[in-house]
Structure 1
């Protein structure tokens, strides 16, 4: 019996099991499940006028792989994160926007409802930044869109904290208690 011949009975069985594999393949091809699979495969290949059927074609499709940048951009737009991300970009690029010398002495803290809060490391820099506020407002609104930042609140340095440890008293006399 040659390679291309098929077994006809019990005595023609092959040791490698190809005869059993062919017999199982023929049985599976004739089963009702195989016929249904073939029908499904044919229906998704061509165009179909039935609503709700997925049709594959040669053009771009939503099921195709998408660029990561486009997907992130769509997610940001859907979630409404656009302004917040732009503001975080301003915080990250603060030295570039206001200049290295001003940025060395100032730090943007929060942005809510058009109000940007900036903290300075000295009262002299707080005064200087108040004088520069109109220029900084124009620069920020160029970056973020007209009217995004309406007010810049400039805060001076924080005072020293006398609170030490986990336990404190409210309305106490403060550091005078320790001086005798």
Structure 2
């Protein structure tokens, strides 16, 4: 007993045959794509829409009360990951820490602020009330840095902003102390016998 809707081979229903007397050639490649486009245009025309002309992407709807778009587009928005430096700068600004952060930048990033040549021969010691104390490795470098003082101040202002460092106090190396122990006698001491 065989089902009348299934052919004897059991392969399932056969495809519908064209009703016209002429056979329809099988479409391939570009012809198939053209045919699909024509059918889509006809369907769109029947529904009252135009296909392929005047395309515009729909505007995203704003979420109620948030002022944000419902979906993210190609451009950056506030929900994207932010650089860590920008976030810490924003926190420092909001809390009033910006001057302290700038002071720390001068002391902590000294080679990047003034350059490798100067930082190899001098180091910052302290920054108080806009006065930066710098200790040079020799008296010759201390003299050189005093002559370059305006250029050093300009480099610091470019790195951290104006008003953080207003002047420099440059010192050379300290002389060795002749004081030994807790007790000493006023005066020149043993140095007066050198000769």
Q: Which TM-score applies when normalising by structure 1? A: 0.51
What stretches of structure 2 of length at least 5 have no aligned partner?
Answer: 1-64, 67-81
Change (3 A) 1:173 1:132: same
User: Which residues in structure 2 correspond to 1:27-176 (within 5 Å)?
Assistant: 70=87, 74=91, 77-78=94-95, 80-165=96-181, 167-169=182-184, 172-173=186-187, 175-176=189-190
SS at match of 1:160: coil
CA distance in 2, matches of 1:175, 1:118: 31
CA displacement at 1:160 relative to structure 2: 0.5
CA distance in 1, matches of 2:114, 2:98: 22
CA distance in 2, matches of 1:97, 1:75: 20
| Deviation digits for residues 25-63 of structure 1 (CA, Å, limit 9, x no counterpart) | xxxxxxxxxxxxxxxxxxxxxxxxxxxxxxxxx97xxxx
CA displacement at 1:151 relative to structure 2: 0.7
**How well do the aligned residues superpose, as a CA RMSD in angstroms?**
3.3
CA distance in 2, matches of 1:72, 1:144: 12
Aligned residues: 113
Runs of 4+ with >4 A deviation: 69-73, 177-180
Q: Which residue of 1 aligns with 2:32?
A: none
CA distance in 2, matches of 1:122, 1:94: 18
CA displacement at 1:85 relative to structure 2: 2.1
CA distance in 2, matches of 1:122, 1:133: 16
Change (3 A) 1:125 1:75: closer
Which structure has the larger Rg over C-alpha atoms? 2
CA displacement at 1:73 relative to structure 2: 5.2
CA distance in 1, matches of 2:123, 2:114: 11
What stretches of structure 1 of length at least 5 have no aligned partner?
Answer: 1-57, 60-66
CA displacement at 1:172 relative to structure 2: 2.2
Structure number with higher helix proportion: 1
